[in-house]
Structure 1
Amino acid sequence: MQKSFQRLIVVSLLMGTLILGACDSPKRPQSDSSSSTPTAASTPAPASNTNQFPGLPRLNGKATVVMTVRGNKQITIELDGNNAPISAGNFVDLVQKGFYNGLSFHRVVRQPQPFVVQGGDPKGNGTGGYVPTGSSTERRIPLEIKPKGAAAPVYGQTITDVPELQHKRGTIAMARSQSPDSASSQFYFTLADIAFLDGNYAVFGKITNGLDIIDTIQQGDKITSAKVTQGIENLKK
């Protein structure tokens, strides 16, 4: 009973940390404790394609990004546009634009247990996102989760089904606020298997080389560069 209660406290703290990773408002949230954990909804019928989001880039297939951090340490990331075309496409598009170059990892959570390394905020404080040139508002992408065995992802809702892409150690996923469709540019790497996030956040790829490097990243460390090395032809705008 006591162990279950302690785990509940840990989960609540960690979820509060993550859910504030990308904010609806440019104002900094008052505290992590003000946020609640996402509530899983029953799975609706999946969308047949991504044409309902015509203004967003998408990845039709896979792509590889090499991210250099902490000076010259390289992480190779495989992006999965087959199962998360919009989330992966948004990330590849931002990498291609050079958006992530020089940005810092503003949140690193290893206590009370390994959790996430989070970055991609141009403001560096957890409240920012990508604002396209000529626009005054952030580009937002919908929550995108494909149930295992489904023909297409579910958009805009959390799911209770087992997702095709799960939060295993070394996966990359989109950070967001409480609103399902509030993700923009912030992403996180998982430092451990974190099953309780499955169905609540959009996983869109995994680290295939340099997994040990994420264990060395500290808060404030910068992304030296990020480059698409394979699959750029699969990016559709």
Structure 2
Amino acid sequence: MAASSRSAREAKRRVQQMEARRALRRDQDKRRKRDNLLAVSAGAGAIALALVLQLTVFSSNPTEEEVAAVQEGLASPSASATPTADPTNAANIPKPDAAAGKTFTGELKLNRGTLGVELDGTKAPQAAAVFKSLADQNFYNGLNCHRLTTAENFGVLQCGSKSGNGSSDPSYVWGPVENAPTDNKYPAGTIAVARTSGNANSNGTQFFIVYKDTVIPADAAGGYTVVGKVTSGLDVVSGIAAAGLKPGESATDGAPVEPVTIDSFSLK
């Protein structure tokens, strides 16, 4: 009888040990799944953070790296910079009525040559009113074109920063985005307005001239206002691009090797 009791107790102990091992394995499996999930979540968060930084760290139009990220299939994050209140009623911003339905023609004289230009007040009345006003005030005289991109599908010359280094002027911002292409394509000769990424009301005094067909992916705020076009002299900008970038800059994005300044900007 004693032997039978011992056998029963031994059997019960073995069963309890097996149950304990099963429970331990279940806990381990749960921990592994949880850790894997956390790792995936952390990885996704890191990618999202990297994209947010990538798409917001550079003011004005996107960098070549941003284009590469989009071409690789990385979706733009839904988060964007906090939009400012609509600034178009600011005292120093002209009303769109000043340009609505009008076409302005004139010249943008650079130290490297002269461009004929045309601004479209029908499709982009607010932008046309702003640039006509700034040109009439001789605002651009003496300012530089601080940024040049020379990638295969991204070729622009950016001008009009009051500071000369690409910084925006916080006392002169306006919106909204107007006449942005729905296909993200900016043909050669396009004149468009630079702004801060993710903010449709952050247009200012800067503009960029597209010297070859360019793709600029829209961000959370949309595309970039197309205010007009170059009607003659686009080869001047192509020549600036052909000269290349200042040594030490990115391979496809930086300051022109030969300084580019605006002698005058006239519109009528």
**TM-score normalised per structure 1:** 0.62
Q: Which amino acid aligns with 2:110?
A: V
Bigger share in helix: 2
Q: 1:115 to 1:221 in 2, by over 3 A?
A: same
Map 1:83-122; keep pairs closer than 5 Å.
Answer: 83-111=123-151, 113-122=153-162
Q: 1:196 to 1:222 in 2, by over 3 A?
A: closer
Could you say which structure has the greater relative contact order, defined with CA pairs below 8 angstroms and 6 or more residues apart?
Answer: 1
Provide the rounded CA distance (Å) in 2 between the counterparts of 1:190 and 1:144.
18
Provide the rounded CA distance (Å) in 2 between the counterparts of 1:40 and 1:89.
33
Instruction: Answer yes or no: is the 8 Å Cα contact 2:194–2:206 preserved in 1.
Output: yes
Instruction: Answer yes or no: is the 8 Å Cα contact 2:190–2:230 preserved in 1.
Output: yes
After superposition, the CA RMSD in angstroms is 3.5
Q: 1:194 to 1:174 in 2, by over 3 A?
A: same
Provide the rounded CA distance (Å) in 2 between the counterparts of 1:54 and 1:171.
27
2:105 is the alignment partner of 1:64: yes
1:123 is matched with 163
Equivalences, count:
175
Secondary structure at 1:87's aligned position in 2? Answer: helix
CA shift, 1:217, in A, is: 2.7
Deviations 1:140-186 (A, max 9, x none): 111322478xxxxxxxxxxxx459xx611011111111222111101
Q: Which runs of 5+ in 2 are unaligned?
A: 1-50, 79-86, 242-255
1:173 is matched with 192
Q: Which amino acid aligns with 1:128?
A: S
Provide the rounded CA distance (Å) in 1 between the counterparts of 2:134 and 2:203.
13
1:186 is matched with 206
Instruction: Answer yes or no: is the 8 Å Cα contact 2:177–2:225 preserved in 1.
Output: yes
| Structure showing greater Rg | 2
**TM-score normalised per structure 2:** 0.56
Q: Which runs of 5+ in 1 are unaligned?
A: 1-11, 23-31, 42-51, 130-136, 149-160, 231-237
Provide the rounded CA distance (Å) in 1 between the counterparts of 2:188 and 2:203.
21
Secondary structure at 1:89's aligned position in 2? Answer: helix
Among 207, 211, 214, the residue aligned to 2:230? 207
CA shift, 1:39, in A, is: 5.4
Q: 1:40 to 1:123 in 2, by over 3 A?
A: same
Secondary structure at 2:145's aligned position in 1? Answer: coil
CA shift, 1:209, in A, is: 1.0
CA shift, 1:20, in A, is: 2.1
